Amino acid sequence: MKNLDFIFVIVLGAGILVGTAAGQQPQTQGTKPGPQSSSDKAASGRAYSGMYTFLKEGEFLQLTVEDDGRITGFISRFGEGESDKGAFLDQFFKEGKLDGNKLSFTTEVVHGVSFEFKGTVERGEGKNPGDEAYFVLKGTLGESASDVNKKMTSHSREVAFKMFPQEAAPAPVMRK
């Protein structure tokens, strides 16, 4: 029996040494959990999905976080050109990425205008999930536009887009 205990101690010690050599920490009771797994990060990132304010009253940004950190969505805004003045335009994301709380996306060109956002998703003033401004997108928004002569102009500005409040769940139906 002593030989089995001795072999068990040797095997256990070798396993710890191999794990430590591979850059892993030995697991013992009472240790803190390691970094979030990719599925935990995806679940927390999905909480950022929703509708946010955009530049003007009535305009908005729809953001959807996919499992792999890819971002899909669109911007709904009022046109400002001669041909689309006041018309409601939807600009879908060409690409987008969420890495932790770092967010970036670019839109397709619509009526000669495209947007690029680089920033972060942060906790806002909202007290509870579903409250207005529970999350805020803060960063730099670049806008590029080309005129009828194909002349490009670009400008950037610091922005903060607040999450819209989420509607409460529908009231339960009372049955008689």
DSSP tag of 85: B
C-alpha pair distances (Å), 49 with each of 40, 143, 167:
15, 23, 14
pLDDT at 45: 81
Residue 82, Cβ density class (10 Å: 0-12 exposed, 13-18 middle, ≥19 buried): exposed
For residues 168 and 150, which has the higher predicted lDDT (pLDDT)? Answer: 150
For residues 75 and 3, which has the higher predicted lDDT (pLDDT)? Answer: 75
The token pair at 176 is 């008689």
Residue type at 169 in one-letter notation: A
Q: Does the pLDDT at position 7 exceed 80?
A: no
Domain 47-162 grouped into CATH 3.30.70.260: no
**pLDDT per residue as tens digits for the range 85-116:** 888 999 999 999 999 999 999 999 998 999 99
Other beta carbons less than 10 A from residue 77's beta carbon: 22
Global confidence as pTM = 0.70
